[in-house]
Structure 1
Amino acid sequence: MKKKWLFLGGVTMIIIILASFSFLNRLKIVGNLAENNEEVIVLNNKVWEITFSKKLNPDSVNSRSVYILNEKGEKEQVKISLENTNKSIEIQPPSKGYNLNSPHYTLVLTKDIKTKGGQNLNQSVKTAFKVINTLPAIGSRKKLNNYFSKMSNEDRTVLAGRDMAVSEENSSEKSSSDSAGADYSGTNIQVAGIDEADVVKTDGTHIYKITDNKVQIIKAMPADKMKMDSVLTFNQAFSPYQLFIEGNQLIVVGHSYIDTPDHIGKAASEKKIAPAFHSTKTIVFNIENKQKPVQIREADIEGSLLASRLMDGKVYFITSYYPEYWILERNKNADLRPRYFDTAKSSEQQIVDYNEIKYFPGSQNANYINIAVLNVRSSREPLSITSYLGSGNEFYMSHNNLYLSAVSYSNEIIADRQMPQPDTSIYKFKIKDGKVEFQASAEIEGTVLNQFSMDEYNENFRVVTTRGEARDERTPSSNSLYILDKNLKQIGQLEDLARGERIYSARFMNDRIYMVTFKETDPLFVIDGSDPKKPSVLGELKIPGFSNYLHPLDENHLIGFGYDTKITGGKGTGSQPVITTDGVKISLFDVSNTNKPVEKDTEIIGGRGTYSPLNYDHKALLIHKKKNLYGFPISIYQNKEGSQFESTFDFQGALVYKITAQSGIELQSKITHQTENAIYEEWEETIERLIYIGDHIYSISPKKVDAYHIDGFKKAGELELN
């Protein structure tokens, strides 16, 4: 009898195990789409992407198994496609968009959806959604705190997030000052007419620079009689790190951290707000009298600065702010709205109104993006500020629109495990009368490298992305170009470029698009974007090293700034090659024959350890277009003989090259502030920027400014800084 019960127990256990195995291997939807019984709010260009636990049978995915019903119960004409190697279903909106007058719809996924092995979806899924054409406002404290409470309850991990054509409206061949015809250098910018902040600026007579938590105003002309006109100092709560110049105004932007003083309105405890105020501060000075600048305005915006631009007398700020939403566990009525301060409006700290806080439907981000506009031509016009619940990583600005990219995550099954896959949300904001208004959003595959990965041309938005990992065979990387219309509807694409590599730089030049990818060699892609619906690869060039900044020399030539590389190992079975960077590399690309781009000339500077700020900051590049001069700071190290990885310090300073299509890359001058027998880099002598005024080039370090005549580079003057 005992043996019989043991036998029956064993059979039962096997049945349970098999049933459990069968359940675990059923076709399921990855994510919470199936669990959401509430009506979901989406924007009118919503693209649904539903990921499954297994690869689907393409024959089972059709208008009978996947469809969208309107309020009348009729099927909408939507485009259905399989993505992610048949693990995801993508549903595009109707060609004319959803009907906003009848905004209620239902997404239906039936059990007829099958895997290749014939397994059905374990149950039919219906998701009700409502379509809107603009971002909704939070509207109340209760709704805002409910939003953040959800974040706290789900214990989400929040990671902080952090402008190229040769046309008249979109080019960085001209610096901000060149475009005005002035005989002095401006910051190397992405879009003509839209200035970018930097640590050094000039107005043609003076140099403005940030050093040691202060701003120095230096009379630069005449070059042999330079002198310090004035120094702006600040308290320890403010750290300046960016400058703009607009007419007779100097705009100093920096980081501020203070405790909220009780005398400003009610005490923080009474207002139920956090006592500390971490902000991006802007201080505006009238510099008509350079020896006695006068502070005329001050503004604070809560959060860390993501980006800033200056156009037509208005400064545009994007800040990211993470509120301390966990305090809701102790105080359910805490005020988690962003704060700001503007002396043009009030002497008291302000809080963004609940109706000015918008949210992106479906957002899972526990931070704000604050977009503020400061009119420096009108000291009495209040700061315009709108807050959005969401994240942001990279920023691009045209003359009419702002674009913000944010990493978004979707679930994918990789090696039988559910893993988050980073993709990108694009948010478009229209600039009108000094106001910024949300226009549209879109979801694209992959992630954006930097501002030069984005561009606006003929009202279309263009972006290049990388998806996957360059050295992970489970999710091999690939690169794509997406072209979206003015409503951010995708109209063209190039996908699956350079598998196993990732994007290191990009440049948009009217109808041509250039992209550099890298893993072991540097492929430069030349892409034809003249037909935005059908972009195509014209040519490809593979060379050692890579360029992480591309700059247009002329219509048919590009300058690439990056690194030379060396490959070691990888000869044995299963062994991987080791890629190491060597010296800094300058490449001159000839793309006159778009089908066969060539590296016309190259210059390799130093060995391992050599680096330049230009490798990560395009604003470090001096451009003198009339003289064909290109200069940048650099620290040079030489490879140690007999050692594979060691190197020795050689030089810190700046190099100036003459670069032309005819003669290639020619070194003109090697400038340094270091002593003759220096054996290592010293901060005080590190050249940070080169600028030019008239016939002189100025090298600028924390403790010194030197001037050199532009013809022959003979020293014309120097100024020691205290």
Structure 2
Amino acid sequence: MGARRGLGGFAAGVTVGAAACALLTTGLLGRGADLVGPAAVAGELPAFDDCAQLRQWYVDRAVPLVGPYGFGGGPVVPMFAERSGSSASLDAAGAVGSSGTGTNTQEADVDESDVAKTDGSLVVRLADRSLVVTDVSGAAPVELSRTRLPGPALVRPELLLHDDHVVVVGDEPGPGVGWPEGAAIDRTFLPGRPGDTRAHVISFDLADPAAPTVTDQQVVDGGALSTREYADGTVRVVVTTDFPPLDFVQPNRDRTPAEATRRNREIVRATGIDDWLPGVRSDGGAEHPLLACSEVRHPLQASGFGTISVLTFPFDEPGRTTATAVTAAGDLVYSSATRLYVATTSGGPVLTTGDAPLPRVATTEVHAFALDGGGTTYTGSGSFHGTVEDRWSFSEHDGRLRVAAEFPRDQGPADNGVLVLTERDGRLVETGRVDGLGRGESIRSVRWFGDLAIVVTFRETDPLYTVDLADPDRPRVVGELRIPGFSSYLHPVGGDLLVGVGHDGSADGADLGAQAATFDLRDLSAVRRRDTLGFGPSTDVSAGVDPRAFSYLPDVRVLVTPVQDWARGGARFVALRVGADGSLTETGSWVSRGYGGEDARTLPLGGGRVALVGDVVRVVDVR
């Protein structure tokens, strides 16, 4: 490949991430349908013979993790896992806009749940425990309805919108799991979800937007990790469970820590299968198992503690839900239109209770599943020594999985690189690799363009690397650009231009505040930064944490994103025009009530109109 080839020479690509392992497929929830899956699944991921064997598997792995205060050994403190953000998929030859519901998604054919959605005429959002519908078709927004979500308050609920149907998914928190103060935690061994968290899946009919009605409600044991809709109208919800909520004792004047530990382990040994196997309740009915014990599969090697469940149903028929479950921990979920990748990292600094040392060699296990309509089929697994930053670190292209990862070294600082995993005979095997991307630095962002990867690392400066993957068996670094600061989100805007939002920095690595920058990728061996636009000291850009807070309107060449000002205590929505030459010009700024924060969204409505969603909905013209 010639190094001077720009973005126009690369095909479309994606990003990834996830966590889990053994998988099964069942029929309708609680109705005992037969196991579905290829023979490779049975050989690679064994099934449990019965409930007694499954219960013993959980108990054997849980007992060593029990201390004087229960799981983890410390006083109970509420903890909630952070919901991972999303990136956008791209057409490498051109600019990328938002999905049909206004969300800056990771894959063009896979919509992602968010706190607000639009069909161009309505904005549907979640606020104050309610589903709020606003008409944005006229000169000024008009709120049509505010419908209370049934059931308890949910943690970070999100929604999907399809025609006249809405699916809301959120967690009902439990009391939490406590850890000793100052302990280092490996969440793949000790999952961070509260022990009795329940995921609520609520379906609404919006045929009359002034009076939405609830059509279905399911409550599933576990915390929701992700919710996505596919082009065929199928919805997949990934849910994880960890330790069950047990009535543990604690040390006191009459009970020593050792005595408390012994008693707590007795409590775990006395548990039944119902304490471990996820359950589900539909429309307020009685709880029943999500799946049969004999249908649960497990990996040949430990991949964390817990259970991952995948619920699949047609958007307009949530009652036809099928389930998929695995005995493993999970943090991240990625899905393309045809593949689901699940990864879990074990090892590194971990929490122990003194008699259960855990391995410290960081290993990431990756499992691949093919998606076919409402079915999910396991296709292979693989692993590598190293860690990934987040789901952006993965990309599937032409049946191969590329991973941007940090690799440990025997001596000196860790290295970064890109490796390629290929499906062969039911396994993912490493067939290509390149190292040397920012040794001793951290990966801050990754963007994939078919057979090109853009990787940004940072320590004191921002090396931006271009990696040629045209020969996936021999990836190579083509170019490197070193500049102060770093980009935490990258977005293609057409014409071989890339926009990066992140932070400006001094030569010694000091943070000078948030900024946007453009990069010229026409010569991949000599990438140039075209322009920068700073937002001032003590500022931050929401898209750097959650790219769903970013929108680009290709027809008017304008990007819109919230910017926080921590010094002044406020936030604003900012519109920047991206010139064909890479120049950046601020064309609009609108104050957001409060900090704007993680729920602020910018939803394109068409014709240069954008719905700015915060505490209220405002419509502006960014042309």
Normalised to the residue count of structure 2, the TM-score between the two structures is: 0.77
- Which residue of 611, 614, 621 corresponds with 1:701? 614
Cα pair distance change 1:410/1:655, threshold 3 Å: closer
Question: Which stretch has the larger CA shift, 473-482 or 626-635?
Answer: 473-482
Instruction: Check conservation: 2:166, 2:204, Cα contact below 8 A.
Output: yes
SS, match of residue 654 in structure 1: strand
Match of 1:391 in 2: 329
Residue type of the partner of 1:701? G
How far does residue 160 in structure 1 lie from its aligned partner after superposition? 9.1
Aligned-partner SS, 1:358: coil
Equivalents in 1 of 2:272, 2:358: separation in Å? Answer: 37
Q: Are residues 227 and 148 of structure 1, via their aligned partners in 2, closer, same or farther at CA, if it must alter by over 3 Å?
A: closer
- Per-residue CA shift, 1:93-134, capped at 9, x if unaligned? xxxxxxx99x9xxxxxxxxxxxxxxxxxxxxxxxxxxx9633
Question: Any idea what SS the aligned residue of 1:449 has?
Answer: coil
Give structure 2 stretches of 5+ with no counterpart.
1-20, 23-37, 73-78, 176-194, 247-264, 351-356
Q: Is residue 409 of structure 2 the alignment partner of residue 458 of structure 1? A: no
Deviation of the 1:466 alpha carbon: 1.1
Q: What letter matches 1:318 in structure 2?
A: V
The code of the aligned residue for 2:98 comes to: S
Cα distance, 1:225–1:449 mapped onto 2, change above 3 Å: closer
Which residue pairs with 2:442 in the alignment? 502
Residue aligning to 2:96:
173
Determine if the alignment matches structure 1 residue 632 to structure 2 residue 545. Answer: no
Q: Report how far residue 330 of structure 1 moved.
A: 5.4
Distance 1:562 1:458 in 2: 31
Partners in 2 of 1:277 and 1:232 — Cα distance?
24
Residues 132 and 693 of structure 1, relative CA distance in 2, 3 Å threshold? closer
Q: Give CA deviations for 1:564-583 in whole Å, capped at 9, x if unaligned.
A: 12355xxxxxxxxxx43221
Match of 1:529 in 2: 469
Contact 1:634/1:652, CA 8 A, preserved across alignment: yes
Paired residue for 2:209, among 290, 304, 314?
290
Q: 1:517 to 1:612 in 2, by over 3 A?
A: same
Equivalent position of 2:422 in the other structure: 485
Q: Partner of 1:313 in structure 2?
A: 233
1:621 aligns with 2:550: yes
Q: In 1, are the aligned partners of 2:303 and 2:344 still within 8 Å (CA)?
A: no
Trace 1:578-589 onto structure 2 (pairs within 5 A): 579-589=509-519
Contact 1:172 1:190 in 2 (8 A): no
CA–CA distance in 2 between the matches of 1:687 and 1:155? Answer: 36
Equivalent-residue separation in structure 1 for 2:611 and 2:160 (angstroms): 19
- 1:662 maps to which of 553, 576, 581: 581
The answer to whether structure 1 residue 300 and structure 2 residue 214 are counterparts is no
- Whether the 8 Å CA contact 2:88–2:105 is kept in 1: the answer is no
User: Offset at 1:365?
Assistant: 2.2
Q: What is the CA–CA distance in structure 2 between the aligned matches of 1:402 and 1:327, rounded to whole Å?
A: 39
Q: Secondary structure at the match of 1:192?
A: coil
Query: How many Å separate the matches in 1 of 2:358 and 2:282?
Result: 51
Match of 2:13 in 1: none
- 2:95 and 2:312 mapped to 1: Cα distance? 23
**1:331 is matched with which residue?**
270
Please give the secondary structure, in 2, of the residue aligned with 1:533.
Answer: coil
Q: Which residue of 2 aligns with 1:119?
A: none
Letter of the structure 1 residue corresponding to residue 610 of structure 2: I
Note if contact 1:447-1:467 (Cα within 8 Å) is conserved in structure 2: yes
Q: Separation in 2 of the partners of 1:601 and 1:494? A: 30
Contact residue 149 and residue 328 of structure 1 kept, 8 A: no
Give yes or no for contact 2:365–2:383 (8 Å, CA) kept in 1: yes
Q: Counterpart of 2:145 in structure 1: which amino acid?
A: D
Q: Are residue 602 (structure 1) and residue 602 (structure 2) matched?
A: no
Asked if 1 retains the 8 angstrom alpha-carbon contact of 2:141 and 2:617, the reply is no
**Secondary structure of the structure 2 residue equivalent to 1:224:** coil
Alignment correspondent of 1:210 = 126
Note if contact 1:551-1:558 (Cα within 8 Å) is conserved in structure 2.
yes
Determine the C-alpha separation between the residues in 2 that align with 1:164 and 1:689: 15
Q: Distance in 1 between matches of 2:147 and 2:432?
A: 53
Larger Rg: 1
In structure 2, what is the Cα distance between the partners aligned to 1:405 and 1:319?
Answer: 15
Query: Who is 1:154 aligned against?
Result: 64
The equivalent position to 2:310 in structure 1, one of 359, 371, 375, is 371
Give the Cα separation in 1 of the matches to 2:95 and 2:159. 19
2:520 aligned residue (582, 585, 590):
590
What corresponds to 2:385 in structure 1? 445
- Stretches of structure 1 that go unaligned for 5 or more consecutive residues are 1-41, 44-99, 104-130, 178-184, 260-275, 569-578, 638-647, 675-681, 712-722
Instruction: Tell me, in whole angstroms, the C-alpha distance in 2 between the residues paired with 1:423 and 1:393.
Output: 15
Q: What's the offset of the Cα at 1:327?
A: 6.8
Alpha-carbon distance, 1:410 to partner: 7.4
- Asked if residue 247 in structure 1 is aligned to residue 163 in structure 2, the reply is yes
> 3-state SS of the aligned residue for 1:430?
strand
Task: Tell me: CA distance 1:663–1:339, structure 2 relative to 1, closer, same or farther (3 Å).
Answer: closer
> Do 2:433 and 2:475's aligned partners in 1 also have CA atoms closer than 8 Å?
yes
8 Å CA contact retained: 2:361, 2:385: no
Q: 1:663 to 1:331 in 2, by over 3 A?
A: closer
Distance 1:685 1:193 in 2: 27
Tell me how far apart the structure 1 counterparts of residues 143 and 349 of structure 2 sit (CA, whole Å): 60
Deviation at 1:379, TM superposition (A): 4.3
- The whole-number CA distance in structure 2 between the counterparts of 1:206 and 1:327 is 55
Question: Cα distance 1:635–1:165, how it changes in 2: closer, same or farther (>3 A)?
Answer: closer
Alignment CA distance shift 1:368-1:475 (3 Å): farther
Counterpart mapping for 1:209-228 below 5 A? 209-224=125-140, 226-228=142-144
Partner of 1:243, secondary structure, is strand
CA RMSD of aligned residues (A): 3.3
- Comparing 433-442 with 322-331, greater Cα deviation is found at 322-331
Mapped contact 2:542–2:564 kept (Cα < 8 A) = no
Deviation by residue 1:435-466 (Cα, 9 ceiling, x = unmatched): 22222111112111122111111111111101
Q: Which fold has the larger relative contact order, with Cα–Cα distance below 8 Å and residues 6 or more apart in sequence?
A: 2
Shift, 1:355, TM fit: 2.1
What's the CA shift string for 1:232-272, capped at 9, x where partnerless? 3444344462010012101111112589xxxxxxxxxxxxx
Distance 1:418 1:347 in 2: 41
Residue 409 of structure 1: how far off its partner (Å): 2.1
Assess if the C-alpha contact under 8 Å between 1:210 and 1:240 holds in 2. no
Give 3-state SS (helix, strand or coil) of 1:485's partner: strand
Q: One-letter code of the match for 2:302? A: S
CA distance in 2, matches of 1:216, 1:525: 43
The separation in 1 between residues aligned to 2:430 and 2:88, in whole angstroms, is 20
Q: Does 1:556 align with 2:496?
A: yes
**Count of paired positions:** 525
Query: How high is the TM-score relative to the length of structure 1?
Result: 0.67
Q: What is the CA deviation profile of residues 346-374 of structure 1, one whole-angstrom value per residue up to 9, with x for unaligned ones?
A: 93222121122111111152211111112
Write the distance in 1 (CA, Å) between the matches of 2:483 and 2:431: 32
Deviations 1:630-671 (A, max 9, x none): 01111225xxxxxxxxxx317521100111332511111011
How far the C-alpha of 1:534 sits from its partner, in A, is 0.8
Aligned counterparts of 2:334 and 2:108: Cα–Cα separation in 1: 13
1:71-90 deviation digits (Å, cap 9, x = unpaired): xxxxxxxxxxxxxxxxxxxx
Q: Give yes or no for the alignment of 1:347 onto 2:285.
A: yes
SS of alignment partner, residue 59 of structure 2: helix
- 2:604 corresponds to 1:692: yes
Deviations 1:448-501 (A, max 9, x none): 1122111111111111101349xxx96512112111123422111112332111
2:506 aligned partner, one-letter code: K
